[in-house]
Structure 1
Amino acid sequence: MSRRSRGSNTWEVRASTLARNTHNLIRDIVENLQVEPNPEKQLIALSVGDPTTFGNLNPPEQVLQAVRESNEWLSSRSYGPAKGHIEARVAVAQYSAHQGDISPEDVVLCSGCSHAIELAITVIADSGQNVLVPRPGFMIYKTVAEGLGINIKHYNLLPDQQWKIDLEDLENQIDDDTAAIVVINPSNPCGSVYDKGHLYEILDIASRNHVPIIADEIYEHFVFSNNEFTALSALSVDVPILTCGGLTKRFLVPGWRMGWVIIHDRHNIFGKEVRQGLSNLASRILGPNTLIQRALPAILTCTPQSFFDEVVLFIENQAKLAFDELRCAPGLRPIMPQGAMYMMIEIKLSLFPNFKNELQFVERLVAEQSVFCLPGQCFAYPNFMRIVLTVPEAILREACKRMIIFCKDHIVSRETIKEIESDIVTVPSDNEVICDNDTAHVA
C-alpha cells in the first residue's frame, strides 16, 4: 500500500488489508438475494441459527437467576484476567470432564464460540498456511482466516453416508502448509453425529500426518435418540486438539457471548509457545464478559438435566416432522439429522428447469411462499438448502406445507407429480405415510 508524502494536499485513507479481505459468506450471499416475501403471507425464516428467535425456547430459571445474582457483585463489573476468572475456568474444566483430563490452565474463556474459533485458528496458523474445513460446513472459518492470509481448503462430507467425512479426500488435502484440520461434530449445517469408529479414523489421519485438530463441538450433547456424542479429545492418544465450545446453543443464550477454547495436549506438542500465544491473543479484548463469567459456575452446575432433555427432544421431534413432510415434496430430498438443530435438503434441480441454481430456487420460494431457507452456497455446497428446526411446531408445519406447494407448482411436469404421488405407500407398523421414490427419500 502506498503512503502519501508529508504535506500531501489530498486525503488518502483506505481500509486495511485485513478489513478488505474479511467477508462473511453467508451475509454476502443473503444480502445479494432478491428476497422480498409475498406480502399476503407471513414470512417464515428458517434461516437463522439462533434458537431464541421465535421465543419458544428459553433458558431455565436457574440460568437467569445466576445472572441476576452476578449483577449484584462488584467484581462482575470490572475487567477480569485475559483468559478469564479462575472460578469460571475451573467450572468449565469440570463441566467438560467428558473431554478428558482438563486443568483450569487448559481453559481460555472467549467472547462466544466464534471468538474461540478465531483464537484457535490464529494461534496455530500463519499467513500462507492452510486450514482444512468440511464441505458443507460453517463458514466462519473462511471469514476469520482469509483476512489474515490463511488459506481455506475443503474436504468433502458424504451426504449418502449421514455426512461422514470422505477420509480419502481429507488426507489428499493435507500438504506441507496445512496447519490444522477442523472437525465440526455435531455438524452445522448437516446435523451429523460421528460415532467412535469414525472419530478414530479421523484421528489416525491427523496422527500419521502430524496435523493438529480444531474440534468445533459447540453442539456437544445436542444428540438425538440412538446416537451418542463422543469428544474427539477423549479418544486422542497423540493428536493435539483445541476444542471450541460455549454456552450459546445448549443453554439458549447466544447473545451472552460466552465461549471457550480447551487445550488437549497429552504429549506437550503445542508446548509453552501455543499456550502463551492463546493468552496473548485473548488479551486483545481484555477478556470476555465478566457478568456472565461470574455466573458461569452456577450456570454450569445448577441447570437441570431435564431442561436439556426437553430441548433436545423438541428439536428431534421437529426434525422428524420436517423429514416426514418434506420427503414427500417432489424434487426435494431431506437428510434426517442425528443431532444439532439443522437439516440439509437436496434440491434436485433437474426437475426444476426454471431455476439455474439453488439461489434462484430460494429466492422464488421467498417471493411466492414467504419461506426463507439458507442456500447451500452459504456452506460451499450448491444444490442444497438448510433449514433451522427450532421454530414452533405449527410454524414449521406451515413452512413445510408451503414448500410442498411450491415444489408442485414448479416441478418439471404435472405427469411427474402424478407419478410421485402414485408411489406413496403406507407402513403397516405405524400407518405413517412415506414416499418411496427417487425424488423424496432419505439416503
Structure 2
Amino acid sequence: MLDQILRNNKKLKVSKSKRGPWKIESSSTAKNTRNFIREIIENIKVEPNPDKPLISLTIGDPTVYGNLKASNETIEAVIRAAEQGAHNGYAPAVGYHNAREAVADYLSQDGAEYSFQDIILCSGCSSSLEMCITVLADPLKGQNILVPRPGFPIYRTLAESIGVKVKYYNLIPEKDWEIDLEHLESLIDDNTAALILNNPSNPCGSVYSEYHLRRILEVAYNYQIPVIADEIYDRIVFPGNKFVSVASLNSRVPTLVCGGLAKRFLVPGWRVGWVAIHDQMGAFDCEVRQGLVKLSQRTIGCNTLIQGALPCILKNSPQNFFDNLIDTLMSNAKICFDILETAQGIIPYKPQGTMYMMVEIELEKFPEFDDGLKFGQKLVEEESVFCLPGECFEIPGFMRLVLTIPQELMEEACERIVDFCNRHYLF
C-alpha cells in the first residue's frame, strides 16, 4: 500500500509555468493593527544632547529606574509558589479557582460585590481590554465603541485591529479632565456597542468624583450601552481624592471592569490582569459571560506561577507599601507642577492620582514649532528630556510626563524643560 502511494506521488508534477514569486499576504487583522505611540516615537529622529544624560519621561513602567520595587511580601509569595511546584502546569483558561476568588475579594469593597465566577484572569490588563472589546463589539455589524480623548491609544489599537470603529469623546482640561457629557451623548448611535471609561486616567492623572461617574453612567443607562471600565490605576489616588469603582454605584449598567497587578503592585512584566463582571441586570448572562470564557481559551490563561502567588499578594501586601508609592508619586507631581509653573508658554495640570501629568504647550507662543512633535524633538535634541507628545493620545499641543522616576531626576528634567521653554518663548 505504501509503495503504491509513493509511486502515485512520483507522478504528480507542479507546472512551473503557473508559479511565480512567493507572495503571502498578512491577514486584515495584522494589517489593521497599529501601535500609535510607536509610530509617533519612531518619527522623532534626533539625538539627545551628548553633554546631558537622557532623562526619559515616556514609558508608564514604574520599574525602569529601579527606585520603585515590588513589596517583599509580593516577592516572597512568588518564591513560595515556585517552591511548592504546584503551579507549573496548565490552569483553567479563566484562571485557578482560588486566584479568582482572591481577586473577587480584593475588588469587593465600597458596596461592590463579586464572586469567583465573575472573575476571568488574563495576560495583563491589555489582554482584558482586548477580550472586553472583542466580546461586546462586532465588526460585521459595523459597530463602534466610545473612547476618551485624550486617552490611552491601546483602545484604538485593539478595536481597529478587528475592524471595530472608534469614536472619541472629549475630556475637559479645565474641569480636571471630566468628560464632556454633551459631546459624549452626541456620538451615540444605534451601532454603539460599548463605552470605555478610564478612571483613574492615563494620560491625564484625573480621578473622577462619584457625582461625575453617576452622570456618565446615567447616559450609558439611558442608551443601554454597556461600560468597559479600565481601572488598572485603582486606588492610586492622592490625598483629597477618592477612587470610586463604577461597580460600587449600583447603576444598573452592565459593566466589565479591567484591572491587574501591573501598576499598583509594581510588576507590569508579570502579565496578570483580570476582567471582573458586574451585572446586576443579568444582561451578560445569555452570551457575554460564555463569550468571555471562549475568548480566554484562545490563550489558555495567564501566568500560572503568579496565579499561585496571587492570593498571598492581594491579601498580605502591607498598606505602608501602597502609602509609600502614593507619597513618591505625589511628591514628584508637586515637584513637577511647582517647577513647570514657572516656565513661560506651558501650563501644567495638577494630577489627582496615577503616575502621569499632562502639560499644555501654548504653541502660538513658540512659533518656530509647527506642532507638539517638533517641540518634543527639539526638547530631546537640546535638553535630553524625552516626553510623549499629546499626539500619542489624540490631543495635539500637550505632552505627558511620567512621575515614577527618582526625585533628583524629576527635578533635573523639569528644570531643563523650564530652561528650554524660556529660551524659545517669543511673546
The TM-score with structure 2 as length reference comes to 0.94
Q: Specify the structure having the higher radius of gyration (Cα).
A: 2
Are residues 1:23 and 2:22 paired?
A: no
Q: CA deviation at 1:7?
A: 5.5
1:254 corresponds to which of 245, 268, 271? 268
Are residues 1:395 and 2:406 paired?
A: no
Please list the CA deviations of residues 34-82 of structure 1 after superposition, one character each: whole Å capped at 9, or x if unmatched.
Answer: 2321111100000110000100000111000001111123331101000
1:130 corresponds to which of 115, 129, 144? 144
**AA at the equivalent of 2:24:** V
Q: Sort the Cα spacing of 1:179 and 1:410 in 2 relative to 1 into closer, same or farther, 3 A.
A: same
Q: CA deviation at 1:188?
A: 0.1
Question: Contact 1:203–1:236 (CA<8 Å) still a contact in 2?
Answer: no
Residue ranges of structure 1 left out of the alignment (5+ in a row): 417-443
Q: CA deviation at 1:6?
A: 11
**AA at the equivalent of 1:232:** V
Q: CA deviation at 1:306?
A: 0.7
Aligned to 2:319: 305
Distance of 2:194 and 2:125 partners within structure 1 = 18
Aligned to 1:40: 51
The TM-score with structure 1 as length reference comes to 0.91
Please list the CA deviations of residues 123-179 of structure 1 after superposition, one character each: whole Å capped at 9, or x if unmatched.
Answer: 110102101000000010111110111001000000000000000001111111100
Aligned to 1:426: none
Q: CA deviation at 1:267?
A: 1.1
Distance of 1:299 and 1:270 partners within structure 2 = 30
Aligned to 1:100: 112
**AA at the equivalent of 1:37:** P
Distance of 1:374 and 1:166 partners within structure 2 = 24
Question: Contact 1:56–1:392 (CA<8 Å) still a contact in 2?
Answer: yes
Task: Report 1:54-133 matches (<5 A).
Answer: 54-98=65-109, 100-127=112-139, 128-133=142-147
Aligned to 2:4: none
Task: Report 1:3-402 matches (<5 A).
Answer: 8-98=19-109, 100-127=112-139, 128-402=142-416
Distance of 2:226 and 2:46 partners within structure 1 = 41
Distance of 2:321 and 2:48 partners within structure 1 = 35
Question: Contact 2:146–2:168 (CA<8 Å) still a contact in 1?
Answer: yes
Question: Contact 1:131–1:180 (CA<8 Å) still a contact in 2?
Answer: yes
Are residues 1:409 and 2:412 paired?
A: no
**AA at the equivalent of 1:20:** K
Q: Sort the Cα spacing of 1:291 and 1:411 in 2 relative to 1 into closer, same or farther, 3 A.
A: same
**AA at the equivalent of 2:118:** D
Question: Contact 1:46–1:374 (CA<8 Å) still a contact in 2?
Answer: yes
Residue ranges of structure 2 left out of the alignment (5+ in a row): 1-15
Question: Contact 1:215–1:242 (CA<8 Å) still a contact in 2?
Answer: yes
Matched residue pairs, number?
A: 409
Q: CA deviation at 1:206?
A: 0.2
Superposed CA RMSD: 1.2
Distance of 2:215 and 2:64 partners within structure 1 = 37
Please list the CA deviations of residues 352-400 of structure 1 after superposition, one character each: whole Å capped at 9, or x if unmatched.
Answer: 0000000000000000000000000000000000000011000000001
Please list the CA deviations of residues 302-325 of structure 1 after superposition, one character each: whole Å capped at 9, or x if unmatched.
Answer: 000110011011101110110000
Distance of 2:342 and 2:423 partners within structure 1 = 14
Q: CA deviation at 1:236?
A: 3.2
Q: CA deviation at 1:8?
A: 3.4
Question: Contact 1:155–1:166 (CA<8 Å) still a contact in 2?
Answer: yes
**AA at the equivalent of 2:137:** A
Q: Matched residues, percent identical?
A: 52
**AA at the equivalent of 2:43:** N
Distance of 2:218 and 2:27 partners within structure 1 = 40
SS at match of 1:77: coil
Question: Contact 1:331–1:411 (CA<8 Å) still a contact in 2?
Answer: yes
Runs of 4+ in 1 over 2 A off after TM superposition: 5-10
Question: Contact 1:346–1:384 (CA<8 Å) still a contact in 2?
Answer: yes
SS at match of 1:310: helix
